[in-house]
Each structure stands twice: as C-alpha cells, then as structure tokens.
Amino acid sequence: MFIPIQIQPRKPVRGEVMRVANGLTRAALANLAGEGPPSEVDVHEARKTLKRLRALARLVRGAIAETEFRIADRAFRDAKNALGGLRDARVRLDALEELRASGDATSAKLEAQTAEVRESLQSKFRETATRHADDGPRMEEVRRALKDQRERIELWDLPNGFGAFRRGLERTYRGGTAALAVFLREPTVHNGHELRKRVKDLMYHVEMLERGWKRPLAAYRKELDTLSDWLGGDHDLAVLEESIGDLRAPDLASAIHRRADRLRSRALHLGVKVYARKPKAFVREIAVAWEIERGR
C-alpha cells in the first residue's frame, strides 16, 4: 500500500500531520487485518509503518506535550517489538544469503558450511513461524493500541509553519552526531546499531519534510538510506554469527568478519559525510527552504 507521508509546506501543519498519521495507521491495520495470522510480508510492512509513526511523533516532539509524546513513543515501540519474532528469524537467513551474494563466501568448504548453517536456520525459522501462527491475542493487542493512539493523535495541537518540527528535527540530528562520535571512537556492532536507529529516524524525518526542499533532501535521504543499509548489514552479520552456535563453521565465521569489516569501514566514512554539519545549521538550512516553499 502506497502511503503519502510527505508533508505539504503550503497546507496547515496539523492537518498534514493528521493525514500522515491516519494513513500510516490505516496501512498498519490493513497489514494486520483478518482472522488468521498475518503473513511474514505483512508483519514486515507493519513494522516499517510503525517505525514511521514513531518517527512522526519524534518529529513533532517539541510542539506537543511531553507526556503525549512519551505515550505515543512507547505505544509504537511496544507494538513494533510485539511483531519482531518472525522478522528476527528471517533476518538470519537473509544475512546468510546476502553474504553468499557478496562473493565473500564462495569456496567449496564455505559452501558446505553455509549449507549446514542454512538448514539449521530454516529449522528455527519454521519453529518461529509455528509459534507466530498461534499469536492471535498479541496481534489483537497491537491493533487495539494503534486504534487508541490514532484517537490521541487527533488531539495534538500543532502550530503552523516549520516551528512544529524544528526542535524535534534538531534533537534527532544531534542524537545522530552523538551516536556517530561514539561509533568513531569504538566501532563495535552495538554502537553501529545505536547509530543506525538515529539514522533511520533522521531518514524518516527528511522523507516527511522533503517537499520543502525537494532535490537536496531527496539526495540526502538516499545517503541516509545507504548508511542505514550498511550499518544494518553489519548488525545482521553479527546476529548470524551468534546463530551459528555450536556448528563448526570457522571458514564461514571468517567470511562474516571480512564482510562486516568492509561494511563497517564504509559506514564510518559515509557517517562522517552525512553528519558533517552542525545541528543548528542543518536545521536552519531546511527551515529557510521550507518557509520559502510555504510562501510561494
């Protein structure tokens, strides 16, 4: 389902935020509709939509009551996490296949070790899918939380203009610069994962504000998306390595390390580029462009 989440600068901010929130909520509910358990694809799409809803709340955080923000943030976080089991199981399989496609796992010995690990992961995935099929009550809780939160969002009182987003955007960007500084000092999987969370938030914010400065923000969003993919790939490989467990696969483990090192190096360089500006300067540039577009 296509969800137009870009906020129009020339329209009232409150109406636009309500439109985006309602569209995202409808999409998530549609993914989780029906009597039987939602498919793996529907669960994945619902989780992505919930991340965008959480990012929307963070974007307007400075313009709504802090208690309302915290209620929304917690509701969307808990709903996303409730849908995580099936997706987490799939991530391990996807990471294994992406490793093979990258060319870092091509020898005959590696192929044999990969096949053994794949068989083990597929078995675990089937077990998770079976549990997911009996998870109707949890799905109902998520649907109820989405509906309740939609009603609360309707009561948000937002000012017009870029002021509704300024503090939230700056807070998100500043959080990214802090996470990058930690990652530069100590480029561990954990620190990269924390940075990726901030990158994803910023990417969603930029996507929502893109109509105010189309080409520059569209190009910047692509860089954020690439950075998120590299950081995510590094984290998924770490999860894959943990999943190998007692299986004897030293060559596969070495291939995982080579690929992870390469992704982490790329992420370090791109991270410095996308967070090159100071937080206030970054927000000011977007604010000026947004107000110019709004006044046309």
pLDDT digits (tens, 9 = 90+) for 229-256: 999 999 999 988 887 766 677 788 888 8
Query: Residue 283, exposed/middle/buried by CB under 10 A (0-12, 13-18, 19+)?
Result: buried
- The confidence score (pLDDT) of residue 224 equals 98
What is the domain count for the chain?
1
CATH number of domain containing 258: 1.40.20.10
What average pLDDT does the segment 207-221 reach? 95
- The confidence score (pLDDT) of residue 135 equals 62
- The confidence score (pLDDT) of residue 10 equals 93
Q: Please state, in angstroms and rounded to a whole number, the distance separating the CA atoms of residues 118 and 120.
A: 5
Find the range with the poorest average confidence among 126-135, 168-177, 209-218, 270-279: 126-135
What average pLDDT does the segment 61-82 reach? 94
Contacts with 151 (C-beta within 8 Å, 6 or more apart), sequence order: none
Tokens of 244: 């190998």
- The confidence score (pLDDT) of residue 132 equals 63
What residue spans of 32-83 are helical by DSSP H?
40-59, 66-82
28 by DSSP, 3-state: which? helix
Q: Please state, in angstroms and rounded to a whole number, the distance separating the CA atoms of residues 155 and 21.
A: 12
Q: Please state, in angstroms and rounded to a whole number, the distance separating the CA atoms of residues 196 and 73.
A: 18
Per-residue confidence band for 119, with pLDDT thresholds at 50, 70 and 90: confident
C-alpha dihedral over 125, 131, 137, 138, to 10 degrees? -30
CB-based contact 150:21 (threshold 8 Å): yes
Q: Please state, in angstroms and rounded to a whole number, the distance separating the CA atoms of residues 163 and 133.
A: 45
In a domain, 172, yes or no: yes
Angle between helices 40-59 and 84-102 (to 10 degrees): 100
In a domain, 64, yes or no: yes
Maximum mean pLDDT: which of 42-46, 106-110, 132-136, 137-141: 42-46
pLDDT at 264 over 70: yes
* Greatest distance between any 2 Cα atoms in the chain: 64
In a domain, 3, yes or no: no
DSSP letter, residue 212: G
In a domain, 34, yes or no: yes
The residue type found at 220 is Y
What residue has token string 């189309």? 214
The residue type found at 262 is R
In a domain, 4, yes or no: no
In a domain, 152, yes or no: yes
Domain boundaries, position 82: 13-295
Tokens of 103: 């060319």
Whole-model pTM above 0.75? yes
Q: For a pLDDT cut of 90, what percent of the chain falls above it?
A: 63
In a domain, 6, yes or no: no
Contacts with 125 (C-beta within 8 Å, 6 or more apart), sequence order: 89, 90, 92, 93
What average pLDDT does the segment 116-128 reach? 78
In a domain, 235, yes or no: yes
